[in-house]
């Protein structure tokens, strides 16, 4: 079995932001708030830590201030270490190239970091998948198959609009990937890539150098698609809960999934916890005549109204007589007295004023942007 101490974790903080423009306007995909108190990066990062990985690089591109304050030195993930630990890798602007265009160029900027890690293997992930993944069997699978690239996929039933945001693969009986479709127009059952890849470090370095001199920048198009026959590319099927956040609708759905206790206990398993930044806020306070059902509530909330089937982040205030249903309410937002907030998403520090009625639908939840007053 591979020693996870010799595995380097890389997380791409800014991938797929175009799919979630509302929530990534002021922040990186990796720091999109999720599930009461988490940021999306907490899922891949905690998965790595729980799998025994002790050195992780976070590759950033833009809007990374909130991500940096969230991660700090990495002590909440036990990654504030003398050796290895957490490193945030800001975009590495090189002469004449500007900010990177794709995964391969981003990796070129991190080449020295990758090299100096001296790891045997590299696990790369994006930050838009909600799952609590044990990476150890995946690295083992890669090692046993002596693969060049292992990609992790899930078997899902997707409508066309979701498939068009994803990379879909075909695997044969030996788990070899024989076809890669980028953003296909298809629906139904398919093998969707979770954008988790395992490679030998030396292989990855070689790939980065070669791609750079051939001006290749997309890992999916230039390597997985065009060079599929040149390499041994294997598919590892992940069959536990995961959700790829590829639209506001899936963000909303994944959040509502957390209300399902079976899913929630798998994602937030006590033995492999999801770590996040600690904010030192007092526990939530319930007032007189409030009613809260089927909801998840973070510390620091003050609830005097009705909350059903909703997710309240830290420090949310629900006024007397206010009604919140099927909604996501992010940190610091205030729903004032007698206001209604139904099938909606409020970003941070929103104020829904007294008596206001905001109603969306599960397919198209209303979104109120950060700091908005409605």
Binding site residues, other proteins, CB under 8 A: 35-37, 75, 259, 261, 264, 268, 270, 273-275, 278, 280-300, 302, 307, 315
- A 10 A CB-CB count for 287 gives 12
| 3-class secondary-structure state, position 320 | coil
> Which residue, 3 or 291, is less far from other proteins as judged by CB?
291
CA distances from 23 to 128, 290, 361 (A): 12, 30, 18
Is 110 or 274 the residue whose CB approaches other proteins more closely?
274
Of 281, 285, 283, which Cα lies nearest the Cα of 307? 285
Residue 284 beta carbon to other proteins: minimum distance, rounded to whole angstroms: 5
CB of 169 to other proteins, least distance (A): 32
**CB neighbours of residue 321 within 10 Å:** 16
Written as six digits, the tokens of 117 are: 């890690």
In our burial notation (b when 16+ CB lie closer than 10 A, e otherwise), range 140-151 reads ebbbeeebbbbb
CB of 125 to other proteins, least distance (A): 21
In whole angstroms, the minimum distance from the beta carbon of 37 to other proteins comes to 6
| Closest distance of CB 286 from other proteins, Å | 5
In the complex, the smallest distance separating the C-beta of residue 354 from other proteins, rounded to whole angstroms, is 20
Angle in degrees, CA 37, 342, 263, rounded to 5: 45
**Nearer of residues 10 and 318 to other proteins, judged by Cβ:** 318
In sequence order, what are the beta bridge partners of 156? Answer: 190
DSSP per residue over 74-139, as a string?
A: SGGGT---SSSEEEEE----BTTTBS--SHHHHHHHTHHHHHHH--SEEEEEES-EE-----HHHH
Nearer to other proteins, 18 or 262 (CB): 262
Residue closer to other proteins by CB (options 188, 287) is 287
Which lies closer to other proteins via its Cβ, residue 85 or residue 102? Answer: 85
- Our CB check for other proteins shows the closer of 167 and 351 to be 351
Q: Quick check: helix, strand or coil at residue 193?
A: strand
| Least distance to other proteins, CB of residue 49, Å | 11
Residues 29/73, Cβ–Cβ less than 8 Å: no
User: SS3 of 4, please?
Assistant: helix
Nearer to other proteins, 109 or 300 (CB): 300
- Cβ atoms of 220 and 180 within 8 Å: the answer is yes
CA–CA gap between residue 31 and residue 23 (Å, rounded) = 9
Any residues with CB less than 8 A from the CB of 311 and at least 6 apart, and which?
35, 36, 255, 258, 259, 295, 296, 327, 328, 329
How near is the Cβ of 38 to other proteins at its closest, in Å? 9
Please state the closest distance from residue 58 (CB atom) to other proteins, in A: 20
Residue 369 DSSP code = -
Of residues 63 and 351, the one with the C-beta less far from other proteins: 351
* Alpha-carbon distances of 258 from 131, 266, 340, rounded to whole Å: 11, 10, 22
Distance CA 54, CA 73 (A): 13
> How many angstroms separate the CA atoms of 125 and 134, rounded?
13
Q: Which is nearer to other proteins, 56 or 180 (CB)?
A: 56
- Shortest Å distance, C-beta 190 to other proteins: 31
């Amino acid at each position: 079995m591979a020693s996870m101490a010799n595995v380097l974790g890389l997380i791409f903080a800014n991938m797929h932001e175009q799919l979630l423009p509302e929530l990534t306007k002021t922040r990186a995909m990796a720091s999109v708030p999720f599930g009461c108190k988490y940021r999306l990066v907490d899922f891949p990062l905690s998965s790595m830590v729980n799998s025994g990985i002790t050195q992780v690089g976070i590759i950033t591109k833009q809007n990374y201030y909130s991500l940096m304050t969230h991660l700090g030195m990495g002590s909440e993930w036990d990654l504030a270490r003398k050796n290895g630990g957490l490193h945030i890798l800001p975009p590495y602007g090189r002469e004449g190239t500007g900010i990177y265009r794709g995964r391969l160029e981003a990796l070129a900027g991190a080449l020295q970091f990758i090299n100096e890690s001296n790891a045997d293997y590299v696990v790369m992930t994006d930050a838009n998948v909600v799952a609590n993944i044990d990476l150890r069997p995946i690295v083992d699978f890669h090692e046993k198959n002596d693969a060049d690239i292992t990609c992790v996929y899930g078997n899902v039933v997707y409508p066309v609009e979701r498939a068009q945001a994803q990379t879909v693969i075909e695997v044969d009986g030996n788990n070899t990937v024989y076809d890669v479709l980028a953003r296909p127009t298809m629906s139904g059952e398919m093998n969707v890539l979770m954008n988790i890849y395992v490679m030998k470090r030396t292989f990855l370095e070689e790939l980065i150098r070669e791609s750079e001199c051939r001006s290749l920048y997309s890992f999916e198009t230039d390597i997985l698609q065009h060079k599929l026959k040149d390499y041994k590319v294997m598919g590892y099927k992940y069959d536990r809960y995961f959700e790829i956040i590829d639209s506001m609708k899936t963000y909303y759905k994944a959040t509502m999934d957390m209300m399902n206790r079976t899913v929630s206990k798998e994602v937030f398993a006590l033995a492999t916890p999801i770590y996040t930044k600690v904010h030192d806020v007092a526990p939530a306070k319930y007032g007189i005549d409030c009613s809260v059902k089927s909801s998840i509530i973070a510390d620091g909330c003050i609830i005097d109204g009705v909350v059903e089937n909703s997710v309240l982040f830290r420090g949310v205030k629900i006024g007397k007589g206010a009604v919140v249903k099927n909604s996501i309410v992010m940190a610091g937002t205030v729903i004032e007295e007698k206001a209604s907030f139904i099938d909606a998403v409020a970003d941070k520090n929103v104020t829904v004023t007294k008596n206001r009625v905001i109603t969306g639908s599960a397919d198209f939840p209303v979104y109120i942007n950060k700091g908005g007053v409605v």
